């Protein structure tokens, strides 16, 4: 199959190229696109590829177009490509909550893919890491309430986020004032920033609203009560989440531990802790510190860590592609 990656020079796009290669996805021709032309600017299977400016005409040639740029490019081209029977896998939030569009995390809701679907958004990275841990709990005992506080890596804001943390560190080492923050709403080096995205009149951020709405959609639990507090921390890769749940039915730490141990894509740590530094670069989501709240059989808390550039974006996108390819949906007219 012929595959295009829009945003191939970015943090997610470059990781998509790596994951396509690692997973030996049968790509005949790979087209790399970004905002402008550049020669030999990205690598795929040990080859330096030219990057091209993105246009609808250029994207028409491909069976699959993976978007890893911004909402604007996805909105400009996504529906037109899908109408042309091309598969669109989109890391932006442009289509995630559209009623006719599934929001697929393959380990959780692969069954939501239907043959007529052509647009496949990749959910918010924090929501993907969260649902990987919530789904085994949902299956074991149902979910009534979820509270989550996040500790999100700077690479969640792309290259600009990584550069802003590095610049803060360099300024501190050089004993000079850092440039004013741009990728984040406050300085991130030696700090913690409890606002990701803009605030709405009720005081929720854009990131928090995405986590709540998308988690409900993926888990097919429109009524589950979710409170999210999303926070940026000076970590380069991998989001961590402190999660507090109330189940529908009574259960136990042992039963939930067994559910986590059986869950695909998850590593459960019965003992000890897990940190983002260890999880960086991995496709697996890790769960640790599972315990009951004061002996309750319905209230539990846990610690979840996943690399949001890998499982939260690039890997999930490639897994969707593999799923569609296995089902014979690539290159098929609808
Ligand atoms: N970073 C994460 O952890 C993460 C997780 C989940 C989802 N996402 C989403 O994934 C997408 C990419 O994020 P990122 O973190 O990889 O950002 P990034 O590092 O800033 O990369 C952005 C990419 O978009 C390209 N681009 C910018 N303007 C463009 C245009 N007009 N036409 C075509 N391409 C254009 C850039 O190309 P140039 O080099 O030409 O500027 C670059 O390749 C975003 O929608 C983001 O919300 C990111």
| CA 286 / ligand 1 centre spacing (Å) | 26
Residue 78 beta carbon below 6 angstroms from any ligand 1 atom:
no
Rounded CA-CA distance 318/16 in Å is 7
Residue 55 beta carbon below 6 angstroms from any ligand 1 atom:
no
Rounded CA-CA distance 66/306 in Å is 21
Report pTM.
0.98
Q: Whose CA is closest to atom 48 on ligand 1?
A: 156
Residue 121 beta carbon below 6 angstroms from any ligand 1 atom:
no
Annotated catalytic residues are 125, 239
Average pLDDT, the chain: 97
Q: Whose CA is closest to atom 32 on ligand 1?
A: 35
- Which residue is listed with tokens 């309430």? 145
Task: Please report how the helices 253-262 and 125-141 are oriented relative to each other, as an axis angle in degrees rounded to 10.
Answer: 120
User: pLDDT tens digits for 19-50?
Assistant: 999 999 999 999 999 999 999 999 999 999 99
State both tokens at 318. 């490639």
| CA 246 / ligand 1 centre spacing (Å) | 36
What DSSP line would sit under 209-226, residue for residue?
A: HHHHHHHHHHHT-TT-EE
User: pLDDT tens digits for 194-211?
Assistant: 999 999 999 999 999 999
Is the distance from CB of 164 to CB of 184 less than 8 angstroms? yes
| CA 68 / ligand 1 centre spacing (Å) | 5
Residue 74 beta carbon below 6 angstroms from any ligand 1 atom:
no
State the DSSP code for 199. Answer: B
Instruction: Give residue 117's pLDDT band: very low, low, confident or very high (50, 70, 90).
Output: very high
User: pLDDT tens digits for 241-272?
Assistant: 999 999 999 999 999 999 999 999 999 999 99
H or E segment and range at residue 43: strand 38-44
């Amino acid at each position: 199959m012929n595959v295009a990656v829009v945003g191939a020079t970015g943090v997610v796009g470059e990781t998509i190229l790596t994951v396509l290669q690692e997973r030996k996805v049968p790509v005949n021709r790979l087209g790399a696109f970004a905002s402008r032309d550049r020669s030999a600017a990205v690598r795929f299977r040990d080859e330096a590829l030219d990057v091209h400016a993105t246009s609808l005409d250029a994207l028409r040639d491909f069976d699959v177009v993976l978007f890893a740029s911004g909402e604007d490019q996805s909105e400009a081209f996504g529906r037109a490509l899908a109408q042309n029977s091309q598969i669109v896998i989109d890391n932006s939030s442009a289509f995630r909550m559209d009623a006719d569009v599934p929001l697929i995390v393959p380990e959780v809701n692969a069954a939501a893919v239907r043959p007529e679907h052509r647009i496949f958004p990749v959910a918010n990275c924090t929501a993907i890491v969260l649902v990987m841990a919530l789904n085994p709990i949902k299956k074991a005992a149902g979910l009534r309430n979820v509270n989550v506080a996040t500790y999100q890596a700077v690479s969640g804001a792309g290259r600009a986020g990584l550069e802003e943390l590095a610049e803060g560190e360099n300024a501190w080492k050089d004993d000079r004032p850092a440039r004013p923050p741009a990728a984040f709403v406050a300085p991130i080096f030696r700090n913690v920033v409890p606002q990701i995205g803009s605030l709405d009149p009720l005081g929720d951020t854009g990131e928090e609203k995405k986590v709540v709405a998308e988690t409900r959609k993926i888990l097919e639990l429109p009524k589950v009560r979710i409170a999210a507090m999303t926070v940026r921390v000076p970590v380069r890769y991998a989001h961590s989440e402190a999660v507090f749940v109330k189940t529908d039915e009574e259960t136990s730490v042992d039963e939930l531990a067994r559910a986590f141990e059986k869950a695909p894509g998850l590593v459960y740590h019965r003992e000890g802790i897990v940190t983002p530094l260890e999880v960086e670069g991995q496709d697996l989501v890790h769960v640790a510190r599972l315990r009951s709240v004061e002996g309750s059989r319905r209230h539990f808390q846990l610690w979840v860590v996943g690399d949001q550039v890998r499982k939260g974006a690039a890997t999930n996108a490639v897994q969707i592609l593999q799923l569609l390819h296995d089902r014979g949906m690539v290159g098929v007219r609808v």
